[in-house]
Amino acid sequence: MQLAAIVISLVTTLVGTALAARAALYIYTFVKLGADVPAGARTGNPAQRVKTVAKEFLGHTRMTTWGVVGVAHWFVATGFFCLVLTLVTAFGQLFQADWSLPVIGDWWPYELFEEVVGLFTTLGILTLIVVRLLSLPGRAGRKSRFAGSIAWQAFFVEYVILGIGICILVLRGLEGALAGVQHYEAAYAVSYPLVLAFKGLSASTLENLIYFFAMLKITISFTWAITIGINPSMGVAWHRFLAFFNIYFKREESGEVALGELLPMTSGGAPIDFEDPADDAVFGVSQVEQFSWKGLLDFSTCTECGRCQSQCPAWNTGKPLSPKLLIMNLREHAYAKAPYLLAGGGKDAEGNETATAEQLAGVPAAALAEAERPLIGTAEENGVIDPDVLWSCTTCGACVEQCPVDIEHIDHIVDMRRYQVMIESSFPTEAGTMLKNLENKGNPWGMATKARLDWVKELKKETGIEVPVIGEDIDPAEVEYLYWVGCAGALEDRAKKTTKAFAELLHTAGVSFAILGKEESCTGDSARRLGNEFLFQMLGAQNVETLNTVLEDAPVKRIVATCPHCFNTIANEYPQLGGHFEVIHHTQLLQHLIDEGKLVPVNPVEGLITYHDPCYLGRHNKVYTPPREIIASVPGLRSEEMHRHKERGFCCGAGGARMWMEERIGKRINTERVDEALSLNPDIISTACPFCLVMLSDSANGKKSEGAAKESLRVVDVAQLLLDSVKAAPAAPAEEPEPAPAG
């Protein structure tokens, strides 16, 4: 028994180690195929990056938000590393049944630690297995976050961990029985029942059982190594190593997730100069090797857990986009194409092969066939990613927020969109109208520039309040805030109500503010997220120049915006263009004014209200509290959260330039969101974004016409609610005294 155990264990170990090491080297070589990134972009502030890795691993910061699943995974993840010495012990036990680690092997604190971690690792993996079995796609369909995951790989990994955990506990019981342990003690606090079970066996039987279970533990461990060595694209296994690197090299050196701004377009590891681009500049991504090396690392690290998929508004409404499946498809394509790329294969801008026949002579036919597949294309074209997948994304950020290994889905989607828009001119036709309007009129509706001041005239007529235009009616030095109205706020009728309410509130609070008027132009948010980086750069440069000029003499370049998309672009993306401003959202300013007593909500607004988090205010910029505090300050309102809110809030469907595209597949996202709101039977649905206001209003009006929502239901911005409460209620007409009775 002992000899067989030694031979089987050592052979399995040698083969497993060799194959796993070869695969690790292959993954490293494969990742290096990716495009360069700007110098220092992924390596700045190494101390903070190490701290982030430690925090995310030890704290499981993303996973623990999933309750019991996160806790179970924490024990499994930490147990993998904490219990590595049990493998060393198993090797020793092959040669001497009662062998233990030098120094600490018989030290009861270590033995207790080993037992407790072994127990909770085993219980943790059992929990995860049960969760997976209860959520099998065959039962839950698209509702299962495991739909599309490679099931055999996941179950293989889980049962390997379960097997190792059982071996650890059994070996502890056998060790105790062989050592003659007679009662509970700290060193055998967990395994003592097993010690009792084995107590009556002879010493030789116990030794043979130790040889067997030590061999079993080693064999299971290195069978796993053999399997992942043969399958370098097996993300569900390799993520336990690659995740550390993927988190370390994440986009934001501060440790924040890759939300907020988009990265500038780069080629050859440097930002593209759109005024004079290089002749060989690569615009966007049309081949998998054009993704950055961090992109290829992202694809390799995906563990197929499906958290992104479960939160994706597109997937939840029947669209073909699943962030998980997108990453998995890119990974499988990349690894299938890798032998061709590693041999020197590639195509130039015209699609001609750059490698010689000699270089490609040894490349497998399957890899050569994979190299011919278009990255974006329909099933008939044998494309890797279907166009409907690419254009379904709302860039809401739910996938990036939830991913426990920091995959940057939105950056990769936008990179593919950039090539489609800027090189192929291939995008939904309705979006073309929006782009033309932005180019010609500076707003997506194509309205005349002078129309940006219509709301100012309306406000003066309705309230007598005059809103000054900076540089014309007021000096920049006299202005506390430059109010960036935005295209929707100035031109869309429903959003104009928010604009006028906010301006009236600022006037009431005595805040000195002004607008740009006709000098304001679209920030370029929709153009950039659609993929037209050139148009964004043009609009952005124009706006930055305007803002820098008008705010040159202002003590503080302070801007307030009612549109989260404008807020995000000016605050987070204009610094890329030389525009550095202090930008806040209108809900932040209003809450500040309430706290200072400059705005006092006194008039009750009766009813049940539910608040919808705009993605670009909430997830992208972490502004969750101010809108809720404003609502809480209004007397009469009773607030109730929708099931999906804050970090797990559900998109309205307008982001990622989807505002300008028809929704032809599945259920409309705004309808899904309004249905969720209506489940609470609210009187008011509130938000803090003009895009959300339009989308939710459209769906709510549709529900009213169907009789599925009460006619009194209102969809309003929080600024409108606050104004209703701050404004003095109209005085009740005085009752005429009754005439005195005659006589």
Q: If you average pLDDT over residues 482-503, what whole number do you get?
A: 96
For 447, phi then psi, to 5°, come to -85, 160
pLDDT grade, residue 138 (50/70/90)? confident
In this structure, are residues 669 and 313 in contact, taking their beta carbons and an 8 Å threshold?
yes
Least confident of 135-139, 516-520, 628-632: 135-139
Residue 475 is predicted with a pLDDT of: 84
Single-letter amino acid code for the residue at 128 = L
Residue 737 is predicted with a pLDDT of: 53
What is the rounded distance in angstroms from the CA atom of residue 531 to the CA atom of residue 722?
37
In this structure, are residues 546 and 516 in contact, taking their beta carbons and an 8 Å threshold?
yes
Read off the pLDDT of residues 698-740 as tens digits, 9 standing for 90 and up. Answer: 999 999 999 999 999 999 999 999 999 998 655 455 455 555 5
Residue 634 is predicted with a pLDDT of: 95
What is the rounded distance in angstroms from the CA atom of residue 420 to the CA atom of residue 482?
36
In terms of DSSP H, where are the helices of 32-83?
46-59, 68-82
pLDDT grade, residue 268 (50/70/90)? confident
Q: What is the DSSP string of 411-458?
A: HHHHHHHHHHHHTS--S-HHHHHHHHHHHHHSSTT---GGGGGHHHHH
What is the rounded distance in angstroms from the CA atom of residue 55 to the CA atom of residue 49?
10
In this structure, are residues 407 and 327 in contact, taking their beta carbons and an 8 Å threshold?
yes
Q: Which residues contact 491 (CB under 8 A, 6 or more apart)?
A: 443, 445, 447, 451, 452, 454
Rounded to 10 deg, the angle between the 151-179 and 84-95 helix axes is: 50
According to DSSP, the residues that pair with 560 across neighbouring strands are 483, 584
pLDDT grade, residue 67 (50/70/90)? confident
Nearest to 63 by CA among 556, 510, 404: 404
pLDDT at 555 over 80: no
In this structure, are residues 660 and 692 in contact, taking their beta carbons and an 8 Å threshold?
no
What is the rounded distance in angstroms from the CA atom of residue 648 to the CA atom of residue 397?
10
Single-letter amino acid code for the residue at 148 = G
Q: Which residues contact 741 (CB under 8 A, 6 or more apart)?
A: none
Residue 739 is predicted with a pLDDT of: 54
Read off the pLDDT of residues 228-255 as tens digits, 9 standing for 90 and up. Answer: 999 999 999 999 999 999 999 999 999 9
pLDDT at 39 over 60: yes
What is the rounded distance in angstroms from the CA atom of residue 57 to the CA atom of residue 240?
10
Report the mean per-residue pLDDT for the chain. Answer: 93
Residue 735 is predicted with a pLDDT of: 53
pLDDT at 556 over 70: yes
pLDDT at 337 over 50: yes
User: What predicted TM-score, i.e. pTM, was given to this entire model?
Assistant: 0.93
Q: Which residues contact 326 (CB under 8 A, 6 or more apart)?
A: 385, 389, 409, 412, 413
pLDDT at 664 over 70: yes
Q: Which two tokens stand for residue 161?
A: 């961990």
Least confident of 466-475, 507-516, 521-530: 466-475
pLDDT grade, residue 350 (50/70/90)? confident
In this structure, are residues 567 and 561 in contact, taking their beta carbons and an 8 Å threshold?
yes
Residue 743 is predicted with a pLDDT of: 40
Pairing of strands 607-611, 637-639: parallel
What is the rounded distance in angstroms from the CA atom of residue 386 to the CA atom of residue 376?
6
Residue 723 is predicted with a pLDDT of: 96
DSSP secondary-structure letter at 347?
Answer: B
SS3 assignment, position 494: helix
